Amino acid sequence: MNTVELIAPCHFGMEAVLKREIIDLGYEISQVEDGKVTFVGDMEAICYANMFLRTAERILLKVGRVHAETFDELFEKTKALPWEDYIPRDGRFWVAKATSVKSRLFSTSDIQSIMKKAMVERLKTVYHQDWFEESGASYPVRVFFMKDEAVIGLDTSGDSLHKRGYRLLTGKAPITETLAAAMILMTPWNRDRILVDPFCGSGTIPIEAAMIAANIAPGMHRHFLAEKWDNLIPGKLWSGAAGEAEELVDTQISVDIQGYDIDGGIVKAARENAGRAGVEHLIHFQQRPVSELSHPKKYGFVITNPPYGERLSAKDELPQLYREMGRSFARLDGWSEYVITAYEDAEKYIGRKADKNRKIYNGMMKTYLYQFLGPKPPRKKQERQID
């Protein structure tokens, strides 16, 4: 099994960001679909993708793609897949999740049940045994049905990759780590530029920015399900990926990353989260309302996830909040602002039409990423070399 296809699900609307990440890791893209990117790699690629991809939700080892319009057809085609190439005799296996969109087979619980039975029948024949103890490593299956086509993969990650391990405390409407990273990576921001989040909540956006600046791999402080797949992935491949991640870290950098929130308690939680991520010294957190947002320097970035009326009682406060946001943005000289929100009147009360607007699904919630683009800073004059 030298070459395999790997599937990386992501937030709808952020496929291009993930595609670029995968290419930067050195892997070839085979397909880009809504909410997922498929690429070609080897067993080592499973380790590197889990360790280094900031915007993927998980990494699936693709077992096959089948067309099924009836449960009998699903059973037979699932049974025909080479499950023994992946699952050992003592492996624990089940269909952990099924989704179905515009397909004749829409009962996800029945899809899960039928596929489990088909897998058992296949492995009975191959291993010549009628009962499986399932006492070994876990091999959960995920299946995505779209217009009667099912993509089937084994979950190598376990817990979603947004669970970096640093965020024990969260605010009222936290943004996921993967979405925060995707927002940052789609901007021209780099560690030489200022970044401020005036609604930092539990600190996710500033922390992800600091991790990017310091080259801290998102998977450094967690484990992955496939680490126990010793029938497929030698332990040295995992240790190799972890070792390279350690070598790349550079926390002795100078950056200007700031996080504000009006809630002092949540600011304290943000500092604690940053400490667990190893970047507390790289971020300045402060209790401050958005109306006091200011910075003397030019060409910075605001990247933020402001409130958008998750609680009905807060909806009446939104016009004033977004007006204050707009006034604060206007005071920032030459800055760019990136605002993700589900509030449909955001542009109206900010007082400016966004230069770009991207629809993104944050879980099941439809949000919009409004991009107010500032000018590019002038290029630094290079000193002429004297021979």
pLDDT band at 2 (very low <50, low <70, confident <90, very high): confident
Per-residue pLDDT of 206-251, as tens digits, reads 999 999 999 999 999 999 999 999 999 999 999 999 999 999 999 9
Q: Which of 70-74, 170-174, 214-218 has the lowest mean pLDDT?
A: 170-174
pLDDT band at 386 (very low <50, low <70, confident <90, very high): very low
CA-to-CA distance for 42 and 46, rounded, in angstroms?
7
pLDDT of the residue at 373: 97
> 310 is in which domain, residue-wise?
177-216+252-372
Whether residue 146 is contained in a domain is answered as yes
The answer to whether the CB of 280 falls within 8 A of the CB of 218 is: no
Whether residue 382 is contained in a domain is answered as no
Whether residue 386 is contained in a domain is answered as no
pLDDT band at 384 (very low <50, low <70, confident <90, very high): very low
Residues in the chain, total: 387
Q: Are residues 42 and 187 in the same domain?
A: no
Q: Are residues 283 and 140 in the same domain?
A: no
Per-residue pLDDT of 177-196, as tens digits, reads 999 999 999 999 999 999 99
Whether residue 166 is contained in a domain is answered as no
The answer to whether the CB of 141 falls within 8 A of the CB of 95 is: yes
Q: What CATH number has the domain bearing residue 199?
A: 3.40.50.150
pLDDT of the residue at 365: 85
pLDDT band at 168 (very low <50, low <70, confident <90, very high): confident
Q: Are residues 182 and 280 in the same domain?
A: yes
Q: Are residues 151 and 206 in the same domain?
A: no
pLDDT band at 274 (very low <50, low <70, confident <90, very high): very high
- The tally of domains found in the chain comes to 2
CA-to-CA distance for 95 and 253, rounded, in angstroms?
45
Average pLDDT over residues 132-141: 97
Q: For the stretch 186-219, what's the b/e string if a residue is b when 16 or more beta carbons lie within 10 angstroms of its beta carbon? A: bbebebebbbbbbbbbbbbbbbbbbbbbbebbbb
Q: Are residues 75 and 117 in the same domain?
A: yes
Higher local confidence (pLDDT), 308 or 96: 96
Q: Are residues 302 and 262 in the same domain?
A: yes
Q: What CATH number has the domain bearing residue 75?
A: 3.30.2130.30
Q: Are residues 273 and 136 in the same domain?
A: no
Element (H, E) at 257: strand 257-261
Amino acid identity, position 236: K
Q: Are residues 23 and 143 in the same domain?
A: yes
Per-residue pLDDT of 353-363, as tens digits, reads 999 999 998 87
Among residues 51, 68, 65, 50, which one has the least CA distance to residue 9? 50
Per-residue pLDDT of 300-313, as tens digits, reads 999 999 998 765 44
Q: Does position 345 have pLDDT exceeding 80, yes or no?
A: yes
Whether residue 228 is contained in a domain is answered as no
Among residues 155, 187, 206, which one ends one of the domains? 155
Q: Are residues 204 and 352 in the same domain?
A: yes
Distance of CA 352 to the CA centre of its chain: 29
Q: Are residues 196 and 106 in the same domain?
A: no
Mean pLDDT over each residue of the chain, to the nearest integer = 94
pLDDT of the residue at 363: 75
Q: Does position 114 have pLDDT exceeding 90, yes or no?
A: yes
Q: Does position 288 have pLDDT exceeding 50, yes or no?
A: yes
Whether residue 160 is contained in a domain is answered as no
Among residues 167, 110, 165, which one has the least CA distance to residue 143? 110
pLDDT of the residue at 312: 45
Question: What Å distances lie between residue 315 and 223, 309, 311, 372, CA to CA?
Answer: 40, 5, 7, 23
- Contacts of residue 231, defined as CB under 8 A and 6 or more positions apart, other chains included, come to 88
Q: Are residues 83 and 145 in the same domain?
A: yes
CA-to-CA distance for 287 and 383, rounded, in angstroms?
42
Q: Does position 383 have pLDDT exceeding 70, yes or no?
A: no
Whether residue 22 is contained in a domain is answered as yes
Q: Does position 290 have pLDDT exceeding 80, yes or no?
A: yes
The first and second tokens of residue 159, run together, are: 């817990």
Average pLDDT over residues 14-30: 97
Q: Are residues 137 and 205 in the same domain?
A: no
Whether residue 168 is contained in a domain is answered as no
Average pLDDT over residues 330-340: 97
Q: pTM to 2 decimals?
A: 0.94
Among residues 205, 111, 206, which one has the least CA distance to residue 151? 111
